[in-house]
Amino acid sequence: MRTYEKYLRNDRLPHMWCPGCGNGIIMKAIVKAADQLELDQDNTVIVSGIGCSSRASGYMDFDTLHTAHGRAIPFATGIKLANPKLKVIVITGDGDCTAIGGNHFIHAARRNVDLTVILFNNSIYGMTGGQESCLTPVGKKATTAPFGAVDRPFDPCDLARAAGATYVARGTAFHAEPLVNLIAQGISNNGFSLVEAITQCPISYGRRNKMPTGTDLLIWMRENAVSLTAFEKLSDEQIGEKFPIGVLYKKESPEYTSEYAKVIKMAMEGK
């Protein structure tokens, strides 16, 4: 047995994701990161929202919580505050995290509460059959954007950084091994960490956008993901669909539960 397999609930597999879906690759990167850090399964909690990606929690052998749509982050905040010794990892999708859960996302970043959010970004609402999300690129088609998306997507990494996150990284399902390290660094950061993991949804996204197979989408990732240094050298014309991957931002900042521990100390001393 490969050492990371102990972090999976093998009796719950095979998973329910479609053939060609990248979510399994991202989930594997998470368990490999857990293995690399030798995370204690009894003191790590995985919290997810609703959507394809959020089903990952059920396959992973920790205390796991599959919450309501958009609400994974505030549930996770409660767990972390209740027992700061726990490592808390949030698994979420583009709709779950940045649309219905957008407010929670920015506020958890603002507080810098020690959570690691792994955002599975497949650019679409997969589970409901391919509706536009707020991370669908302009011009890409979805069942609710049959002529192509008109509204501009967020850059969730920029959003997290602006809101106060202390570790922000982006990886892809194609760059699976580097993703493991990006996640491991996120988990190690004592504060709010975002790892945006670009993943492929051939069924609900690729088929409508001339990339009908998982391979097509992985090739798209290979061709468009560039390092941050290379990305910064690109002219506006050269950027096109290109995006930076790797660690995008890091900062030292007081972590919420440590700060609240000081409040408790003050209150107990009657100050």
Partner 1 sequence: MNKARLMQGNEACAEGALAAGVDFFGGYPITPSTEIAEIMAKKLPTFGGTFIQMEDEIAGIAVVLGAVLAGRKGLTATSGPGFSLKQELIGYGCIAEIPIVIVNVQRVGPSTGQPTSPAQGDVMQARWGTHGDHPMIALSPWTVRESFDVAVLAVNYAERFRTPVIILLDEVVGHMSERVVLPEAADIEVYPRRLPTCTKEEGYKPYTPMEDLVPNPANFGTGHRIHVTGLIHDETGFPTASADVTENTIRRLHEKISRVQDEITHYDEFFMEDVEYAVLAYGGTSRTAYEAVLLARQKGIKVGMIRLMTIWPFADKVVKELSLKVKKILVPEMNYGQLVLEVERASAGQAKVISLPKYNSEIFTPQEICSAIEKLAVEVVK
Choose which of 74, 93, 156, 246 interacts with partner 1 (CB under 8 A). Answer: 74
Per CB under 8 A, contacts with partner 1 among 170-209 are: none
Choose which of 13, 78, 241, 259 interacts with partner 1 (CB under 8 A). Answer: 78
Choose which of 8, 79, 142, 160 interacts with partner 1 (CB under 8 A). Answer: 79
**Stated length of the chain:** 271
In 10 A of CB 130, how many CB atoms? 22
Alpha carbons 127 and 120: distance in angstroms, whole number: 13
Residue pair 132/145 in contact (Cβ under 8 Å)? The answer is: yes
DSSP 101: T
Contact call for residue 250 and partner 1 (CB under 8 A): no
Contact call for residue 264 and partner 1 (CB under 8 A): yes
Choose which of 32, 104, 170, 175 interacts with partner 1 (CB under 8 A). Answer: 104
Choose which of 147, 151, 236, 268 interacts with partner 1 (CB under 8 A). Answer: 268
Q: How far is CA 259 from CA 168, 200, 256, in A?
A: 21, 39, 5
Interaction mask 44-63, partner 1, x per CB under 8 A:
-x-x---------xx--xxx
Alpha carbons 267 and 271: distance in angstroms, whole number: 6
Helix (DSSP H) and strand (DSSP E) numbers for the chain:
10, 10
Contact call for residue 71 and partner 1 (CB under 8 A): yes
In 10 A of CB 18, how many CB atoms? 14
Of residues 10 and 43, the one with the C-beta less far from partner 1: 43
Interface with partner 1 (CB under 8 A): 12, 41-43, 45, 47, 57-58, 61-68, 71, 74-79, 81-83, 85-86, 103-104, 107, 260, 263-264, 266-268, 270
